[in-house]
Amino acid sequence: MPSSATPDILPQGEITFRGRGLAVMQGRRLSLKVCPRCSQRNDRRAAEQGHCHWCAYIPSLADAEPISPGSA
């Protein structure tokens, strides 16, 4: 049985992937702004499709972490 663990409750708003990259979650829709693997700012069209325009990386939602203001 494949265990691709997608959390039931997804973080919303701006998120990172274990502290890298930058994306915006709206509902189940992911917009990848900055790639967590190659750190390039993403092409808008690729961003809306949730993958990196540069290295084709598709970030895992299991790595998604909300950006909590005030935590440094």
Q: Which is nearer to Zn ion, 55 or 62 (CB)?
A: 55
Size of the residue set binding Zn ion (CB under 5 A): 7
Ranges within 6-65 binding Zn ion (CB under 5 A)? 35, 37-38, 52, 54-55, 57
Say if strands 29-34 and 64-66 run parallel, antiparallel, or are unpaired.
unpaired
Q: Min. distance of Cβ 16 from Zn ion in angstroms?
A: 14
State the first-to-last Cα distance of the chain, in angstroms, to the nearest integer: 39
Q: Min. distance of Cβ 68 from Zn ion in angstroms?
A: 24
SS3 of residue 54 by DSSP: coil
Give the C-alpha separation, 41 to 9, whole Å.
27
Q: Which is nearer to Zn ion, 33 or 37 (CB)?
A: 37
Q: Min. distance of Cβ 57 from Zn ion in angstroms?
A: 4
Q: Can you say whether the dihedral through the CA atoms of 19, 10, 58, 5 is positive or negative?
A: positive
